[in-house]
């Protein structure tokens, strides 16, 4: 149980374009979803926390207008990287927590901006 999926697993885009990443909780209702970013050889960095139906809470230093988060249902959250640039290339990971309040992570999305 507690499976989280992400789509796509890998995406390559041109600089200046926007990319949407989907995160789904497959067998539980994720009242809270989290988005992380991980650069090579580094730990996960929390970007934002979102509760279903509410606006996301962003961590200090994360631009909310650049990283748009939508958590419209208890099983789906999306992260849109707007006007992506090469420095946005990273591994993006989502996590969901539900009734048990333990975070379960998705497999991650590798974003490469050319």
Partner 1 sequence: LAKTTQPISMDSYEGQEVNITCSHNNIATNDYITWYQQFPSQGPRFIIQGYKTKVTNEVASLFIPADRKSSTLSLPRVSLSDTAVYYCLVGDPYNQGGKLIFGQGTELSVKP
Please answer whether residues 37 and 109 qualify as being in contact, where contact means their C-beta atoms are separated by less than 8 angstroms. Answer: no
Binding mask 4-23 for partner 1 (x = CB under 8 A): x-x-----------------
User: What is the C-alpha to C-alpha distance for residues 78 and 61, in angstroms, rounded to an integer?
Assistant: 20
Q: Is 58 in the site for partner 1 (CB under 8 A)?
A: no
Q: Is 29 in the site for partner 1 (CB under 8 A)?
A: no
Residue 4 class from Cβ within 10 Å (0-12 exposed, 13-18 middle, 19+ buried)?
buried
- The piece of 12-20, 40-48, 62-70, 77-85 that touches partner 1 (CB under 8 A) is 40-48
Q: Is 49 in the site for partner 1 (CB under 8 A)?
A: yes
Report which DSSP code applies to 26: S
Q: Is 101 in the site for partner 1 (CB under 8 A)?
A: yes
- Beta strand 109-113 with 10-13 is parallel
User: How many Cα atoms sit within 13 Å of 42 on the Cβ side?
Assistant: 11
Q: Is 111 in the site for partner 1 (CB under 8 A)?
A: no
Residues at the interface with partner 1 (CB under 8 A):
2, 4, 6, 31-32, 34, 36, 43-46, 49, 51, 91, 93, 95, 97, 100-108, 110
């Amino acid at each position: 149980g507690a499976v989280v999926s992400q789509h796509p697993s890998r995406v390559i885009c041109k600089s200046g374009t926007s990319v949407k990443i989907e995160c789904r909780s497959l067998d539980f209702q994720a009242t809270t979803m989290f988005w992380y970013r991980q650069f090579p050889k580094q730990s996960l960095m929390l970007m934002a926390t979102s509760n279903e139906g509410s606006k996301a809470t962003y961590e200090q230093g994360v631009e909310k207008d650049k990283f748009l988060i939508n958590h419209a249902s208890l099983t789906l959250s999306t992260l849109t990287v707007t006007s992506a640039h090469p420095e946005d290339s990273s591994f993006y990971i989502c996590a969901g927590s539900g009734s048990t309040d333990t975070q379960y992570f998705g497999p991650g999305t590798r974003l490469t901006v050319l």
